[in-house]
Chain A
Amino acid sequence: GAGVSQSPSNKVTEKGKDVELRCDPISGHTALYWYRQRLGQGLEFLIYFQGNSAPDKSGLPSDRFSAERTGESVSTLTIQRTQQEDSAVYLCASSGTYRTREAQYFGPGTRLLVL
């Protein structure tokens, strides 16, 4: 596609349930990033993929959060046993390479609400 796409656009879940968020990067982009944006706050880095490996997982807030990527394509962010504080917009971005000086192209985000 022309841009980064994410699904679902909105997700409402009950506390304790698992959720999967999907990201389709721009075709040919090797680098993929996940961010979280809580209401009224800036973007919080979660994880970055270079191809299908994740050299930097430093932003994952707890072991309930995990992510994987198939080749240089789709990525899935999984949150297990969701908590109310997980409610946020989860943004995915991709860039042409993993090198510095690359601007990132963002998807529309998945708005997650944990009741």
Chain B
Amino acid sequence: AQSVSQHNHHVILSEAASLELGCNYSYGGTVNLFWYVQYPGQHLQLLLKYFSGDPLVKGIKGFEAEFIKSKFSFNLRKPSVQWSDTAEYFCAVNLYSSASKIIFGSGTRLSIRP
């Protein structure tokens, strides 16, 4: 069965540190990839997405993610985090063959120390 793995459940960083959150998926076909973010007390919202083309995708608030097909990975990065980045981050995969279903990872909680 298709799945999405986020191996880091809770990451704690100091402000200005660099961030990389891992995401791996298990599916051999064409996929669309997403990162969603949920700030405390707010809705889930889209951070960035990859459909095709340049595997390095830039999103809002200085985030970027790189699709590495050979590794089935779509890691999220930010060179210098801020306290306001404290949130839960979800990686998600939409199987190209199944328009309806988006499979989410279990999420990574990011805590930034001011």
The answer to whether A3 has its CB under 8 Å from any CB of chain B is yes
What are 20 sample pairs from A and B whose C-beta atoms fall under 8 A apart?
A31-B100, A35-B104, A45-B102, A45-B104, A48-B100, A48-B101, A56-B98, A56-B100, A56-B101, A93-B44, A99-B99, A100-B96, A100-B99, A101-B51, A103-B46, A103-B49, A104-B102, A105-B45, A105-B46, A106-B45
**Is chain B's binding surface mostly helix, strand, loop or mixed?**
strand
In the complex, chain A residues 71-115 whose Cβ is within 8 Å of any chain B Cβ: 91, 93, 98-101, 103-109
Question: Using a Cβ cutoff of 8 Å, how many contacts connect chains A and B?
Answer: 60
Contacts from B to A (Cβ < 8 Å): 4, 6, 32, 34, 36, 43-46, 49, 51, 90, 92, 94-96, 98-107
Complex CA gap A43/B46 in Å reads 14
Contacts from A to B (Cβ < 8 Å): 3-4, 31, 33, 35, 40-45, 48, 50, 55-56, 58-59, 91, 93, 98-101, 103-109
When C-beta atoms are compared, the residue in chain A nearest to B94 turns out to be A100
When C-beta atoms are compared, the residue in chain B nearest to A35 turns out to be B104
Contact among A41, A59, A91, A98 with B99 in the assembled complex (CB-CB below 8 Å): A98
Nearest chain A CB to B46 CB, angstrom units: 5
**Besides A42-B106, A42-B107, 11 other A-B contacts (C-beta < 8 A):** A3-B43, A43-B92, A43-B104, A45-B104, A93-B44, A100-B96, A103-B34, A103-B46, A104-B46, A104-B102, A106-B43
